[in-house]
Chain A
Amino acid sequence: MAAAGSPSAALRRRDLCSRGIRLAGKMRADVVDLLDAYVSLPCSLCLPRGWEHRWDLGSCAGMLEEQREQLGEADAGLGRALAAVLLQVSAFAYHLEELLRLESRGIPGEEGDEEEDGPPPPPRLSHFERKLRGLGVLRELAQWAVRSVRDLRQLAKPSPATGAWPPAHGCSFCPA
């Protein structure tokens, strides 16, 4: 692995950032399309009580997978769209991990795993709550993609202190 400050590392970072921007843009577009096809509910009230915990890629993917299972094979279109978003989320996660490794940063999930025994099992939710949560995940994903694009653009800019992270802006994948 090249050192974070070397010219090749800068090039690599720029490449990862630009590809990440494209990926996040596509992901956002797909999520917005999916939101249109999903349940239509008032946006401001879409998250049920007690669901204000911190987001991460794993929980997003888990919830999307749960929604896909709920639908079964019945709604092939929605199922395929969800699967596509899942794939993009995991690809984007992998992409960001590469970027973090390049910058010699720890991966938040891995760090967390080391520290904690794992998240407590989620409470049994009703269908309605799961729908709300799915919708919330999609909305969060869309916003998160926008934030990620902004962060990656910042990161792609050549800065005097090579490898310095831009302000986190509350982005969920940034280390705390």
Chain B
Amino acid sequence: MWKNSSLRCLLALAVLCLRSLMYSQEIGSPGDPQNLKCVTHNLHKMLCTWDVSSRGKHGQTDFCYTTNDLTPQVCFKTKERRVEIPIPESSITVTIKSSGTAFATREFVIHQKDISFVPVTPHILSLMPDFPTSTLNLKWSDNGSVFPYGLDALWQIQILRKEAMEVVKQVSYYSKLTHEDVILSWNWTSDMPLECTSHYVKIRCYINATQFVGPKDWSDWSPAEVIPGKDTEPGGSGVFPLDPVVAVGSDLMFCCVHEEDQRITNMTYGSKSYTMMQLSRRSHAIRVLNASVSNTSGTNVVCRLENGLEGSVVFVGYAPDSPQNLSCETPNFLIIKCTWEPGRPSGLYGERRTKYSLFERTSGKNVSCEVNEVSRDHVCGFPVLPDQKTYDFILGVSNPIGQAQSSLLVDITQRVHPKAPEKLTVTGSNSTSIQLRWFINGSFAETRLLCQIEISSSHSERKLHNVSIPGRKSSTYTAQLNALHPDTKYQLRVRCSSADHFWRWSDWSRGVEQTTSEAPPARGPDIWRERSPSGESLIVFWKPLSLSETHGKIVSHEVSCYMLERLLERKVVSEPSNSTEIKLGKSDCVISVVARNHAGSSPPSRITSVELPSDNVTTDQAVAMGNGINISWDSYPNMTCGYIVKWCHSSGSEPCSVDWQKFPSNTTNAVIKSALFKPGVRYNFSLYGCKSMGYQLLKNITGYMKELPPKTAPNFIVEETSSDSILVKWEDIPIEECRGFLKGYLLSFAKGEKDALKPRLSESGNPELKVNNITDLTKKSMKILDLQGKTSYQLELQAYTAGGLSPPNSLYVVTKEDSVGLIIAILIPVAVVVLLGVLASIFCYRKREWIKETFYPEIPNPENSKALQFQRNICEGNKTLKTLEMNPCTPNSVEVVETQSTAPKIEDTEMMSPAAETIVPEDGSDSEMENHVVVSYCPPIIEEEISNPPTDQPGGSSQVVYIDIQSMYQPQIKPEEEPEIDLVTTAGYKPQMQLSINALKIEGHSPVEEELDKTAGYRPQANTNTWNMGTPDSPGSVESNNENASFGSPCSINSRQFLLPPKDDEDSPKPINTGWSFTHFFQNKPND
């Protein structure tokens, strides 16, 4: 607590002391000089000012001051109210006595802390504009000589723009005072071209005098220096900046300065119009952000005025990249060529292009480089300096936007890249060597050259021959090439490099050609001989030497025949023949053959004509290798001088040309290759063994270079067919069509009908396909078993070799029918039918009374009706009438009503029958009659009358006959045959089964048979001959014209045929009304 109160007392005391120190202590009465203020500008002297009342303003003032009691008071008179006095170390007592009034005296005590420090206002020495870069350079003096050394000075610079002097930038600048007047400089780049409008600059400072205890303050601002814009110049106009070169991505400002009375229309950068900002009455500006690369002729900035045009061209590009892969080499020790990759193109051309210079640090020599910007061929030459091997290069790159550099330290002796040798010539040659000479320009005296000679010819691979040669100054060099082939055209060229430190080969020189001269052939030709078929002469064959062995053009071969060193015959055979015949008779000799060219003869090749006898010569098969034929044989120990495989090439009609190949005696296997071998062609080889005495045929071999599928399918036939087997026979395929060794046959078969579009069996994917592989080539037939009877089979036969399957040959065969099965198939249904017939007969027989009661009740016999007889006669008299002509019968029937008692009833019944009402055609036309059911009345016909003449039984039966006119089942019955039908009697029983048979075979009925029919036992009450098998409305019924046609009795089994007409005659017209039979079924029942 105590502590707090004492602390507060101390603090209050300190505040009071400070207040008394901060302000000059005024002693005196009011109205005297007052408000004494002292300010220092240089820390040495201070300027004190005071105020006085109006009364003392014009009087003289006595001013005295003393720093302490020991120093005497300094007094002087002044008319101004400001004095400059030294700054006291601690305090100063000032006495001011104003004489204007009654000697008003005032005493002030000024402490150091009461003195303000305000530096002198800075003075701008110069303000220089750089218009192309829009940069201002400000220079001023720091006035440091008046201040102690080492004070920190802070400068504040203000940039103002436009007439209104808007502050656009204020920056601080720091410096240290050195007790000397130093001129300071500061640059500022404006974002707006300086021409656009006026720019002003002001400056002030603050000096941080730490020892000075009084208040410190900024100096006043200096007077503004101005850089006037073009808009202040009378007549000044244009677009600014003028033709600038700027970096890509820069933000640009362009202004258009024009006359005051001109109105600006628009401003464009490139093709785009920009919004304008007004800078002054005569200046407008646009701002372009992130400028992109301009085209080669620059981007136009155009200011369109009402009556004019101003513009500028801006070039936007990149600063140069640092050169990459700088490399220097000398082609001749006279000049050093440096190359580099420039990197990204600057986009600047013409006078703004990127410029290169090569500076060598050791020598201090600088070379500017002419670089083709478009072809981008960046090469710069630097002269080789005497006695200098190591060069320290700096490649400088610059353009208006920037610069870069790249350096390289290089030992030029290790970077030798000679130019291509010149003047390459052949100075001499023979059959195996060539001398060359060439020239290299350059000073290679202190180095060795490594030169490479490329040798190439048409029949050998390219070869390189290196030669190391001591270098000379711009000299020719020679080299000799040995071990060349005679009579060969060589192409030669040379390139060189430094042998001591290989760096790079020169380019190849121009090529030269030289042909070596001829030499005798290197060896004798490869020979073989064969006895002629007659054995009287010997044919000698030789193979042409290879190009590398001929050593020149072969002109002839000399064939000699020696017997015990005695020349028997000599023949000279000119090229291109490769065989000759020597008449030797049965004797033998040693054949010698030499090849000759213009330079001489080859060593002789010899062969004996002796052919040793051989027995058991077998023929084997060789293996096709695809590219050759593999032949193998057993080792024959007594064949001391090897083996010969001989074969013959046959090409078309020409005689076959003999070829052979020799093998050493330890060989038992060889792949014979020849460009003449063709796939699928059979070749025959003969293996000969060589003994000292002569040659012996060991075996024959056939083979293919490559086996192919047989060209054609084997021809085959079906020799025999049964219900379950087929015997197939085939023929051999001709050898030339086999195209390989035949391995077997594939016989495929499956069920199938002949169909042109059907695929091959083997490709059909038929699951029932069966394939028989016949590998026994001697077998020429095969029986296929387990087949189905009466079935069509497709057979295919293919032959195959190791090369594949031949195309198939196809046949279709139908096996024979299986007779047992057929018989069974027929017998079973017949037996069933017979059985059913028997059962039906038994049933009918047993129930005959009931059937009769039900279906055939007794009905009156209309036999006695004369009308009916008349009617019958009428009808009989008109046997030839068609059904359509039945109308004349109707009036007669009317007449029957008047004369016959029974007839009208029958007639009414018939007329009233529903069938009659509905079926009679309305128009009565012939055609329609054919298509409609016609049930018309006809005088009753009594079977008994038919069987017995009407005269015999006038009171015949009373049977009613319904006539149905149809011909469905009677088309065979012609009108002229109808009389015979009438003759058919219906007496006695007649099985219904006979109906159709009778109807169909009616023509064949013999009188005996008819008689039998008449006399047969029980017969239903129907004339079966008149029963229609079809429907009553069948059109055929018209044609039948059968006046006796009648429905069978419903109880008759014949009725089955009405209900179920035969199906097999589908061509017949279909019944139109299937319900009729039931209608008529009961119509004949009385009172139904």
Contacts and interface: CB of A to CB of B under 8 A. Distances in A.
Interface of A: 39, 41-42, 45, 48-49, 69-76, 78, 126-128, 131-132
B1023 to A, nearest CB: 117
B373 A74 contact: yes
Given A126-B242, A126-B243, A73 B374 contact: yes
Given A39-B300, A76-B374, A128-B300, A71 B313 contact: no
27 contacts: A39-B300, A42-B304, A42-B309, A49-B308, A69-B350, A70-B297, A71-B296, A71-B350, A72-B349, A72-B350, A72-B353, A73-B374, A74-B296, A75-B296, A76-B374, A78-B297, A127-B243, A127-B312, A127-B313, A128-B239, A128-B243, A128-B300, A128-B313, A131-B297, A131-B313, A132-B309, A132-B311
A45 B304 CA distance: 10
Shortest 9 CB-CB distances between A and B: which pairs? A74-B349, A127-B313, A72-B350, A128-B311, A74-B296, A73-B374, A45-B309, A72-B349, A75-B296
A70 B242 contact: no
A75 B296 CA distance: 7
A75 B297 contact: yes
B157 interface: no
| Residue of B238, B311, B312, B349 contacting most chain A CB atoms (<10 Å) | B311
Nearest to A68: B350
Q: Considering residues A41, A76, A126, A128, which has the most beta carbons from chain B within 10 angstroms of its beta carbon?
A: A128
A166 B196 CA distance: 53
B235 to A, nearest CB: 11
Given A45-B309, A76-B374, A128-B300, 15 more contacts: A42-B304, A45-B304, A45-B308, A71-B350, A73-B372, A74-B350, A75-B296, A126-B243, A126-B313, A127-B313, A128-B312, A128-B313, A131-B297, A131-B300, A131-B313
B298 interface: yes
B309 A39 contact: no
Contacts of B750: none
Interface in B297-341: 297-298, 300-302, 304, 308-309, 311-313
Nearest to B373: A73
Nearest to A76: B374
Contacts of B311: 128, 131-132
B481 to A, nearest CB: 47
Contacts of A42: 304, 309
Given A127-B313, A128-B243, A70 B300 contact: no
**Residue picked from A69, A74, A78, A126, most chain B C-beta under 10 Å:** A74
Interface size class of B (residues with CB under 8 A): 20 to 34
Nearest to B298: A127
A131 B374 CA distance: 22
B16 to A, nearest CB: 75
Contacts of B309: 41-42, 45, 48, 132
Contact of A126 (B312, B349, B353): B312
A80 B298 CA distance: 19
Contacts of A70: 297, 350-351
Contacts of A131: 297, 300, 311, 313
Nearest to B352: A72
A49 B351 CA distance: 26
B38 to A, nearest CB: 60
A69 B309 CA distance: 25
Nearest to A75: B296
Nearest to A134: B297
A164 B296 CA distance: 49
A37 to B, nearest CB: 10
Contacts of B349: 71-75
Contacts of A71: 296-297, 349-350
Given A128-B239, A128-B243, A74 B374 contact: yes
A94 B515 CA distance: 58
Interface centre among A48, A127, A132 (most CB of B within 10 A): A127
Contacts of A45: 304, 308-309
Interface string B230-266: 0000000011001100000000000000000000000
Contacts of B297: 39, 70-71, 75, 78, 131
Given A42-B309, A131-B313, A72 B300 contact: no
B522 to A, nearest CB: 61
A132 B310 CA distance: 10
A76 B308 CA distance: 32
Interface string B162-202: 00000000000000000000000000000000000000000
Given A127-B313, A131-B297, A41 B372 contact: no
A75 B297 CA distance: 8
Nearest to B310: A128
A72 B375 CA distance: 12
A78 B349 CA distance: 14
B586 to A, nearest CB: 91
B312 A72 contact: no
A116 to B, nearest CB: 30
B268 to A, nearest CB: 10
A41 B297 CA distance: 14
A127 B647 CA distance: 91
Contacts of B302: 41
A73 B296 CA distance: 9
Q: By CB atoms of chain A within 10 A, which of B300, B308, B373 has the most?
A: B300
Contacts of B308: 45, 49
B731 to A, nearest CB: 82
A46 to B, nearest CB: 8
A126 B303 CA distance: 15
A41 B268 CA distance: 11
Nearest to B242: A126
A42 B307 CA distance: 12
